[in-house]
Amino acid sequence: MNLHFKNRIAFFSTIAAAITMLVVFATVYVVVYSTTYKYLDNNILEEKDELFSQIKTEGDSLVLSLNAEWEELEHNRAEVDPIFLQIVDEKGAVIFYSRNLQNDHLQFADSLNINTFFNVEFNGKKIRQGQFPIITETGKIIGQLDIGISQVDSILILTNLRNTFFVAFPLMLLFFYMLTSLVASRSIAPIKQLILYAEKMNYDNINPRLPLPDYHDEIYQLTTTINALLERIEIGRKREKQITANISHELRTPLTSIKGTLEVLIRKTREPKQYEAKARQVIEEVDSIDYIINQLLYLARLDSGNLSIAKKPIRLNDMLQSIRNKWQSRLIDKHMTMYIDIPEESLVQADFGLLEMVLGNLVSNAVKYGNIRGQIHCCWQKDSETLLFKDNGPGIQQEHLPHIFERFYRADVPGSSSVQSTGLGLYILKMLADIQGIQIKVNSKENAGTQFFLHFLNN
């Protein structure tokens, strides 16, 4: 059902009201019904008491000594709400009846010995009838008294009650629906206002924030939540711009350097050794561009969930040796030493390419941020299946430590303003480690170095 929100509220409230009204009416009807019939039954009982005081028994026979006033006044009238009387003997033969019965008979149950009330129709009139056994002093049933009383008033009351309900019910529901729809419409007016404001916003324009409603209710809460979300989007947008600028800068720096080197080279003919040295420089710059592009590719693959892993046993020592070889010229440039203290036979379960990226990032950071003549140590802790990777570089300030695995997070490292930095390295490293079942912990002290612990959970 495609109803507006306010109409939906009105619709469901009206259904709830209809059910409530039905329950209330049914209860009222049952109470009125039982009260009116109780009233009729009480009348019949009063009549019965009076009659029994005038019925005598002699041995097993019945003696009627009906009071003349009683006979005259009540039971001769045939027209307006009469009271009908009838007495039958123990065989069911009518031995007395009031004149208003006009030779007709009241119905009675075959069994004489039961006191009961029931509804019957007599000469087209609905009557309430009571029947009572007549019992001698010795306890023998010698007849039955039947008393009938008109139900006209009771039926009138109940019919009026029903009709009133049938007319009032749809009218009340209609009125209720319109009223709730109006109230709902006024209640959701602030939401409509929010929609109007939100429609004017787009990615480049999320200012100003949504106006806060006057009352501190759920709509107020919703508005503050949306405003907080917009705030986060705004921060993210600014960060994204900053990141684009950073990455462009990181790519441009090696490109400018490559261009400069090549321009210098072509100015005049040079010795083969000079060509070789310049070519090496260019290769290093291309490597750093390759490194950034690689990071961006991994980021895209992680974001799309399109990263397949194939775990196999890997010799940790071999992999670290090969990574050290790749970084050899940078290590030499900074007079740094990388020690690998890992038994040849130490195996870890991991994806070759992904683990290479993880360890490569650690080496890259240790070299980038490390001090001249600094040291890097890689040790294998057999008992805990943990690789300890530590450097004696500048360390990470405690305030930055909880954030270093966040995407694009860069902490200021004194003296490292010229290093290539995207803030992606540790984020990618952590993601790749997680999917391979490697738990990463970090310890760092300013000016004392940084330690990374790689715990291979599935080894």
Least distance (Å) between residue 391 CB and ligand ADP: 5
147 binds ligand ADP (CB under 6 A): no
Of residues 61, 50, 85, the one with CA closest to residue 136: 61
Using N-to-C axis directions, what is the helix angle for 272-304 and 218-267, rounded to 10°?
160
Q: Is 101 in the site for ligand ADP (CB under 6 A)?
A: no
Q: How far is the CB of 246 from ligand ADP (least distance, A)?
A: 9
Nearer to ligand ADP, 129 or 421 (CB): 421
How many alpha carbons fall within 13 Å on the CB side of residue 65? Answer: 6
Beta strand residue intervals within 112-243, DSSP E: 116-122, 125-135, 141-150
Torsions phi, psi of 386, nearest 5? -125, 135
427 in contact with ligand ADP (CB under 6 A): yes
- In the complex with ligand ADP, the residue whose CB is nearer, 319 or 366, is 366
d(CA 257, CA 255): 5
Residue whose structure tokens are 């039905």: 22
User: Binding residues for ligand ADP, how many (CB under 6 A)?
Assistant: 20
Q: Which of residues 430-459 bind ligand ADP (CB under 6 A)?
A: 450
Shortest CB 235 distance to ligand ADP, Å: 19
**Can you name the residues that pair with 97 across neighbouring β-strands?**
86
131 or 365, CB closer to ligand ADP? 365
> What is the closest distance, in whole angstroms, from the C-beta atom of residue 434 to ligand ADP in the complex?
15
Distance CA 178, CA 99 (A): 59
Q: Which two tokens stand for residue 14?
A: 């009206």
Q: Which tokens hold the place of 56?
A: 């005598």
For residues 40 and 151, what is the distance between their CA atoms, to the nearest angstrom?
8
Instruction: Print the binding letters for residues 341-370 with ligand ADP: x by CB under 6 A, - otherwise.
Output: ------------------------xx--x-
Q: How far is the CB of 452 from ligand ADP (least distance, A)?
A: 8
For ligand ADP, which is the closer residue by CB, 149 or 378? 378
User: Least distance (Å) from ligand ADP to the CB of residue 393?
Assistant: 5
124 close to 104: Cβ distance less than 8 angstroms = no
Give the nearer residue to ligand ADP in terms of CB position, either 130 or 425.
Answer: 425
- Spell out, one character per residue from 387 to 426, where the chain touches ligand ADP: x when CB under 6 A holds, - when not: ----x-xx-x-------x----xxx-x-------xxxxxx
Element of type H or E holding 406: none
Q: Which parts of 60-132 fold into alpha helices (H)?
A: 68-73
Q: How far apart are CA 117 and CA 151, in angstroms?
A: 13
Rounded to 5°, the CA angle 23-29-34 comes to: 130
Cβ of residue 292: shortest distance to ligand ADP, in angstroms? 9
φ/ψ of 116, rounded to 5, equals -155, 160
Closest CB 394 distance from ligand ADP, rounded Å? 6
Cβ closer to ligand ADP: 343 or 415? 415
Say whether residue 251 binds ligand ADP (CB under 6 A). no
Closest contact distance (angstroms) between CB of 429 and ligand ADP is: 7
CA atoms of 459 and 446, how far apart (whole Å): 33
Q: Give the x/- contact pattern for ligand ADP in 306-345, rule: CB under 6 A.
A: ----------------------------------------
Question: In the bound complex, which residue of the shown chain has the CB atom lying closest to ligand ADP?
Answer: 425
Q: Which residues bind ligand ADP (CB under 6 A)?
A: 365-366, 369, 391, 393-394, 396, 404, 409-411, 413, 421-427, 450
